[in-house]
Amino acid sequence: MTPLQKHYFGLLWQHKGMALLGVLLAVITAVAGIALLAVSGWFISAAALAGLTAVSAIEFNFLTPGAMVRGFSITRTLGRYGERYTSHEATFRVISRLRADLFRFLARRHWHEVQMNRHESASRLLQDIQHIESIYVSALLPAVVVLATVLGLVLSLALLLPQALPWALPLLVLAVVVMPWLYTRQVLQPQNQLHQLRVAQWQFASSLLSSMRTLSLHQQLEHSGEQLAQQASAGDQQEITTVNRQQFSMLLAQIFLALLAVVVFWQAFVAYQQGILAGAEVFMWLLLTLGCGEVLIGACPILASLRLGLAALLRLEALQPAQASPEPRQLTEGAGLIRLQQLSYGYPSQPHPVFQQVDVSFAAPGWYWVCGASGSGKSTLIALLAGQLQASSGTVQIRSASARPPALMPQRIDILRASLRDNLCLHHDHSDEAIMAVLHLVELDYWTQSLPQGLDTWLGDGEWQPSGGEAKRIGLARLLLQDADIMLLDEPAAGMDTALAERIFARLAQRWAGKLVIANTHDRQLMRSGQQLVEVGRSAFTCKTVR
């Protein structure tokens, strides 16, 4: 057993009281349900036989079997409620601990954000956690019930109707071992392919949605739509095939269980003819076997749940261990400073690293303009400093007076479908005066006043849509309101005309004079004398003062 599997079963063991009570009640419920059917079968046929003559009808004891039927049905109902309560309670206790432990476990693993953000990893992770959570309630608990039912049926046959055993045993093996194994293969094997197919389809659909305008400009929208439809129907086809195969295994299991009932009924009838069994007992055996069949048909999904849960635990275990990644980002209190030591970073999908063992320091107060050729790694650097990416090796040491993380203005400003006020006050509420003051600084005050409801105007898709340059200035206003000690800006002036950008950055230079500001740009006109210019390179950065 792997450590994570041990951990899961250890957790279950810690809650063994509730878990075992749930199992016990589930077994009692199943046994009472089967016994209820068997006794009712016997009772109805015995009463019918007794009713054939008036004398035997008067002599027939209705009370004892009637009481037994009532007793079993009460036990079954109480058992079912009790079992639901206890097994849900046990599941809840195990799951709440398990979730916390799993996320702690994952936090210690080496997770590239890129990997985390990929839909495939995230959706697989959630699916795995769900599979792990259902191990107890959908696999272990019903498995014990199935096992108890098989044992009970085999023992009853061995003791009371041994001649049926050679016929019943192979059918039981087929229905409870072979078919669940086949069913599980149909669930597990195509599950991976289907998952990948659906993920690819989802990624294609979302890329189609985000690039709809471009595709329609190039008259490619219809073609891409057809591709998506083809992908979707391939996925549907695969899903239908998988479900059909699963249903076929279930159908076969059901046929074997029906055959089991027929065989037991037939052998009971032979025993009746030999004078071993009374007539009504023949029907008791038929209903008893049918009742067992109802429980045993669950063996197929039970084995599938167990294997899915165990496979999910193995998959989580297989995630890269934490030692591959040293603690890359440290945040402390003190005079503003960012220091990169021996920092390396490469995107998992790229053959060459963007940075290799880079050492550089940025100290407050100071403005650092990060420059370099397109693709040299300026945005990657900002993402590493902001903690959006984690270094492959080396450290990022961050010190700020308030020990607060740096504030980031990303390259693409997302406009929320909310009021302008809510779009600006993402971190704290601010007075209208404070908001208007920062809007004045970024020259959006007149624009705001021209909006139909001023600060209460709704922005975003289908509402008032700011232009590219206005969105950038909304991003700057957000940063001004956030007022952190360290500011990180990725292409903050892109989309603004040069004169406007120069005016705004002259004001910002005064406003943020005491802070540490690191900004990417291609526009050297924004730089003011005394500020620093950092040229990024793969293994070394050069830093000089702007004159």
- Contact positions toward ligand ATP, by CB under 6 A? 114, 347, 349-350, 354, 372, 374-380
**Beta pairing, strands 486-489 & 516-520:** parallel
Rounded Cα gap, residues 172 and 299, in angstroms:
11
Choose between 513 and 543: whose C-beta lies nearer to ligand ATP: 543
- How far is Cα 306 from Cα 298, in angstroms, rounded to an integer? 12
Looking up tokens 């199935």 gives 146
Any idea which residue has 């400009």 for tokens?
217
Q: Report the alpha-carbon distance of residue 26 to residue 336 in Å, rounded.
A: 62
Q: Which is nearer to ligand ATP, 374 or 450 (CB)?
A: 374
Nearest CB to ligand ATP, comparing residues 448 and 521: 521
Minimum distance, C-beta of residue 377 to ligand ATP, in the bound complex (Å): 4
Q: In 3-state terms, what secondary structure has residue 96? A: helix
Q: Are strands 393-400 and 366-371 parallel, antiparallel or unpaired?
A: unpaired
Looking at the DSSP bridge assignments, the partners of residue 532 are 368, 545
**Least distance in Å: CB of 370 to ligand ATP?**
8
Sheet containing 337-345: give its strands across: 329-333, 393-400, 337-345, 355-363
- Tell the smallest beta-carbon distance from residue 486 to ligand ATP (Å): 19
SS3 content of the chain, % helix, strand, coil (to 5): 65, 10, 25
CA dihedral for 48, 51, 52, 58, sign (positive or negative): positive
For ligand ATP, which is the closer residue by CB, 309 or 377?
377
Torsion of CA 161, 166, 171, 177, to 10 degrees: 110
- State in angstroms the smallest separation of the CB of 308 from ligand ATP: 32
The residue among 275 and 375 lying less far from ligand ATP, judged by its C-beta, is 375
Q: How far is the CB of 392 from ligand ATP (least distance, A)?
A: 13
H helix count then E strand count, the chain? 19, 10
495 and 472 Cβ atoms separated by less than 8 Å? yes
- Nearest residue (CB) to ligand ATP, 388 versus 393: 388
Q: Which is nearer to ligand ATP, 117 or 241 (CB)?
A: 117
- Beta carbon nearer to ligand ATP, 427 or 524: 524
In the block, tokens 């079963």 appear at 9
Q: How far is the CB of 494 from ligand ATP (least distance, A)?
A: 9
Least Å from the CB of residue 485 to ligand ATP = 24
**Nearest approach, Cβ of residue 537 and ligand ATP (Å):** 11
